[in-house]
Amino acid sequence: MGKTFAEKILAAKAGLDETVPGQIVTVQPDRLLTHDNTSAIAKTFRKIGTDRVANPNMNVIILDHVVPAANETYAQSHKETREFVQQQGIEAFYDVGEGICHQVLPEQGHALPGMLIVGSDSHTPSHGALGAFAAGIGRTEAAAVMATGEIWLRVPESMRIEVTGEMPPQVSAKDLVLHIIGDIGADGADYMSVEFAGPTIESMSIAGRQVLCNMAAEMGAKNGYVAPDETTRQWLAGRTTSTYDEILPDEDADYARVLHYDVSGLMPQIARPHRVDNVVPVTQVTGLPINQALIGTCTNGRLEDLRAAAQILRGKQIAPWVRLLVLPASREILLSAMEEGIIADLVKAGATLLNPGCGPCLGAHEGCMAPGERTISTANRNFKGRMGSREAEIYLGSPATVAASALRGAITDPREL
């Protein structure tokens, strides 16, 4: 019997001939990603009592969650992170303004096929889009990885999601993944390795694949994965000089579950409050008034997302009662969007441009909501209280749906425009 991607890569990293689901292995990650929580992790690292990180080349540190610092407390935390970076001789450090960790890590060539990446952020599975095994971990274990260079992982069961059909106009990867989550539920892939495959995925951009793997976290998955191919190699060209090993699942691998989707009839999808699996076609919620619209985050802040929004908003004006926030996911994306004229289009249409970073997604700054307000967002979570008041509502959708909704001031099917 063949092996899944997770079984193969964890065997390789643990130095074993093979692994089976449920087995506990000890592995040395290729990368440890941390962000604004680095200062807290550094404190735990000191509590362990070691002086030096086991391997400074493993660390990638990116400040993104509350950047620039919203107040003195955040400023102190950022300062402690910079001091830790200095003390430990960590080279891969990206300060305020570079962008969201899940965009900067791959852009800077730190996420490659066949790598094992752990990160103290639940959306670390994003990097499976490039063929890596990437899983989220907690703060204490991030400190332990710094101290020991290793971590235990349970070999997960695997789920394969085969997707066929051509995406209809104004329907994108976000709609597909919301539809899947609505179908299998917020724990539909709990602890599993999710492999996205099939012709639709093969013809999808890296940005689209990142959306799928990012949102795998919202099905409870340990990691998401798309097999590396020519699209992957082209995306990585110029971003790394390192060689890499592409690890692919065996064709006769044993999956705990196999799902099939055909996207040719897929409609734009919306996740209603306060659960990501509370998903309906946009047609069921059109006309619901909104106060705020957010385009950005580690799910949908990439160039093709901003392009989709600009295509809808170019030469028009958003509804006067709507605050449209646009946050490119990285400096690189911001620059490209400026060069293409996308930023000018969006700002002229009434958007407020915010710096690359996580922005209001986690409710700390830059666009929190008052009680009774409603936001439609391209983010990955709509939990109660996440963007400010617990009496506010978050609807999740694609960049096209959010842009169309900003234009009309109410939730709108982008196919109507």
Of 340, 402, 341, 346, give the one whose Cα is nearest residue 170: 402
Q: What are the strands of the beta sheet with 158-164, ordered from one edge?
A: 223-226, 193-197, 158-164, 257-262
Q: Which of 28, 88, 96, 141 binds other proteins (CB under 8 A)?
A: 141
Q: Taking CB under 8 A as the rule, does residue 47 contact other proteins?
A: yes
Q: Does 222 bind other proteins (CB under 8 A)?
A: yes
- Beta-strand runs (E) in 56-144: 59-62, 93-94, 116-119, 133-136
SS3 278: coil
Q: Which is nearer to other proteins, 345 or 366 (CB)?
A: 366
> DSSP alpha helices (H): ranges in 228-330?
230-236, 297-300, 303-313
Q: Does 20 bind other proteins (CB under 8 A)?
A: no
Please say which residue, 48 or 258, places its beta carbon nearer to other proteins: 48
Q: How many residues bind other proteins (CB under 8 A)?
A: 49
Cα–chain-centroid distance for residue 228?
Answer: 18
By CB under 8 A, residue 65 contacts other proteins: yes
The site map against other proteins for 84-123 (x = CB under 8 A) is ------------------------------------xxx-
How is residue 95 written in tokens? 């300060």
Stretch that binds other proteins, among 160-168, 302-310, 361-369, 406-414 (CB under 8 A): 361-369
82 binds other proteins (CB under 8 A): no
Identify the residue among 134, 137, 325, 337 touching other proteins (CB under 8 A): 137
Residues 284, 324: Cα–Cα separation, whole Å: 23
Stretch that binds other proteins, among 103-111, 182-190, 232-240, 305-313 (CB under 8 A): 182-190
Q: How far apart are CA 255 and CA 246, in angstroms?
A: 20
Q: Which of 151, 133, 115 is nearest to 124 (CA)?
A: 133
24-27/151-154 β-pairing: antiparallel
Distance CA 214, CA 122 (A): 9
Smaller CB separation from other proteins, 11 or 318: 11
Q: Is 147 in the site for other proteins (CB under 8 A)?
A: yes
Q: Tell me which residues touch other proteins (CB under 8 A).
A: 24, 36-37, 40, 44, 47-50, 65-66, 71, 73-74, 77, 120-122, 136-141, 143-144, 147-148, 152, 154, 186-187, 190-191, 220, 222, 275, 277, 362-364, 368, 381, 383-386, 388, 390
